[in-house]
Structure 1
Amino acid sequence: MSNVPEILSFFDKATSTISYIVIDPATKHAAIVDSVLDYDPKAGRVSTASADELIAAVKANDLTIDWIVETHVHADHFSAARYLQKHLGRGVIGIGDHIAPVQSNFADIFDMGADFATDGRQFDHLFKDGERFMIGTVEAEAIYTPGHTPACMSYLIGNAVFVGDTLFMPDYGTARCDFPGGDAHALYASVQRLFALPPETRVFTAHDYQPGGRAPAWESTIGEQKAGNIQIHDGISEDEFVVMREKRDATLAAPVLILPSLQVNIRGGDLPDPSHNGRRYLKIPLNAI
C-alpha cells in the first residue's frame, strides 16, 4: 500500500475554499474533498465553473473517482457533490455519521417538511469515527473532529490529513465555534487528536482567508501547526483557548452564504425540488440564525 497520495488543489476565490483531488499514483483511483458549486447571491444563480474544473482535471489525468467526501455541512459555499457524481458517473458521496442532528436542526429552521429525512440518507455513506477505507492502494481513515460543527470529520489519507475548517493555516488559527451545535471545548479536543499524528503529516485546510493580504496557502504540517498556530499551538491550555475562541466568535458576522448553502448541503449537494411552476426556491428564515 502507498501512503503518499498525489494531491491536486483548487482555490475558489469567491468563497476562499480549497477543493482537492486526492490520487493514488499507482492505480489512478482518487477522491474529491470539499467541492464547490458556484452561487451568485445577488442574482440567485447557480453555475458550475468550479465543479467543471474538477471534472476536467479528472478526465485529463484519466482518474477513477471512488469517493466524493465532505468534511462537514458547509455554511459558506454550496457542495457540488451530486453534480460531480452525475457527470462523472461514479463516486460515493460521504460525510460523517453525526450529520443527523445537524439535518434535524436546520430542517426545522428552514421548514423543510415532515417528509425530509433527518437520518443522513441523502448521502451515500456515513463515516464512523476510526473507519478505514481505501482509495486505490492508499489507506484512509475518518477522524471525528467536532467543534466547528457537531458533525465535522477529518480524513487521514496516506500521509495527508484533510481537516476541513478545524484548522486553518498557522497564521490564521482555527474554526469558529458559534454555529448551532458548535463547541470550543470540543474543538480543542479535536485539535489535540490531530496533533497526536506524526509531525510530518501534511495538513490541508478547506479555506484560506489570506491574512495580511498574503498569497493563498493551504498546506502545512502537524509539526508546523503545533509550533506556530497563533490560536492553538503547543502550550495553549483548553481554558485559554476557549476564552479566546468565544471572545473572537462574538465579534464575527454570519457567513454571506450561510442561509442558502445549508439548505443545499444538508441534502448532499442536491438543490431543492422544483415548485409547481418548475422553479427551485431557497428559503430565507427571518431572525432564525
Structure 2
Amino acid sequence: MSSSSPSPRPDVLGFYHDKTGSIAYLVIDPATGHAAIVDPVLDYDEKAGRTATTAADAMLAEIDKHKLTIDWILDTHPHADHFSAAAYLKDKLGAPIAIGRKIVEVQKLWRDIYNVPDFPVDGKDWDRLFADGDTFAIGSLTARVMHSPGHTLASITYVVGDAAFVHDTLFQPDTGSARCDFPGGNAETLYNSIKAILALPGETRLFTGHDYKEGGRAPQWETTVAEQKRSNKHFKGNPSREDYAQMRNARDKTLPMPVLILPALQVNLRGGRLPPPENNGHSYLKIPVNVL
C-alpha cells in the first residue's frame, strides 16, 4: 500500500450466499493481516427447522488460508432474509461483535410484534453498539460508521479506506435500491441515507448486501459511487425525495415478505443466537400470525 494513496485500500473478499442472495465480506488490512467480517450468514433450512454453518465455515477456511487475525465481526443491520452467524463466529474466533446502537429501537418494535415482554431490549448481545460518526480500527485501517436508516431503523454503513459496505441501501445499478416496507422502514429516510452515501468520493468502492442476479447474470456485489450516480436505475435521474418515495412505496406494495423474516429476526435481534432452550433442551421460534 503506497503512503501517497489518498485513501487506504483494504482487500475485500465477498462470499455469495445463493439461497438468500446475500453477500458476506472479509475486509482485510494488507499491511497487517488483520481483518473484519461483515454480515456473515448462518444457514437455515426452514422446512426442517435446522441451522447449519456451511457458509460461515467457508469464511473460516479462508481466514485460516490467509492466516488472518479477525478484529471485528460486524453486522450492518438486523437482517430479515437470513440468520446472522455473528455469534457462531465469535465463539470460534473470539472477536467482538458489533452493530448500530439503534438496534435497541428495533428490539423494542419486534418485542411487541412477537409479544415477548421479557425479551431484553438493551443491545447487550453485542460487544459494541456503534453511533453515527464512530471510528474503530481494523489493523492499521480506520473504519468509520455512517447511520444509514430507511431499510431498517438500525442500518449502518461501514466506510473503510476507499471501501464502503452499504448493506440494503443501494444494490447493483441494474437492480436499484432496497425496500422500505418492513416495520420501522421509511422511503424518505432511505433516500437521505443513499444521498449521503453518494456524497462519498466518486472512486469509493461500494459493496452491497445483496444481489439478485438481474436478468440471469452472474452475481455481482462491487460497484462505485460514480457508477451508481451514473447508472443506478432508481437514482441516475437524480430524483427528488418525493418522487423516489412514491416509486419505492409503490414498488414495495408488490413485493412478498422474505421467506425468513419472522424466524430470522428472533435470532438476529439476539446477535445471531437462537432463543434460550426450553426445558427439553430445544430452542423454538415463534411465528406471529396475521401481523405483517
Which TM bucket (shorter chain)?
over 0.9
2:89 corresponds to which letter in structure 1?
A: L
Runs (5+) with no aligned partner, structure 1: none
Residue 253 of structure 1 and its aligned partner are, at CA, apart by: 0.4
Q: Does 1:154 pair with 2:176?
A: no
Q: Which amino acid aligns with 1:189?
A: N
Q: Which residue of the partner structure matches residue 134 of structure 1?
A: 137
Does 1:38 pair with 2:48? no
Provide the residue aligned with 2:234 in structure 1: 231
Letter in 1 for 2:160: I
**So what's the TM-score if we normalise by structure 1?**
0.97
Match of 2:17 among 4, 12, 20: 12
2:185 maps to 1:179: no
**Deviation by residue 1:106-162 (Cα, 9 ceiling, x = unmatched):** 112223332x22121111100010111110011110001100011100000110000
2:87 matched to which residue of 1? 82
What residue in structure 2 maps to residue 123 of structure 1? 126
Q: Distance in 1 between matches of 2:96 and 2:9?
A: 22
Alignment correspondent of 1:240:
243
2:95 equivalent to 1:97: no
Residue correspondence of structure 1 range 199-278 to structure 2 within 5 A: 199-278=202-281
Give the Å deviation of 1:195.
0.8
Q: Indicate which of 104, 113, 117 corresponds to 1:109.
A: 113
Post-superposition offset of 1:91: 1.4
Q: 1:179 offset after TM fit, Å?
A: 0.6
Identity %: 54
**After superposition, what is the alpha-carbon deviation per residue over 1:206-263, rounded to whole angstroms, capped at 9, x for unaligned?**
1000111111000000000011110122521111101100000011100000011000
**Structure-2 separation of matches of 1:215 and 1:8:** 16
Code of the aligned partner of 2:88: Y
Shift of 1:6: 0.6
Residue matched to 2:170: 167
Output the amino acid matched with 2:168: D
Local SS of the residue matching 2:16: strand
Which 4+ residue blocks in structure 1 deviate beyond 6 angstroms? none
Distance 1:234 1:20 in 2: 30
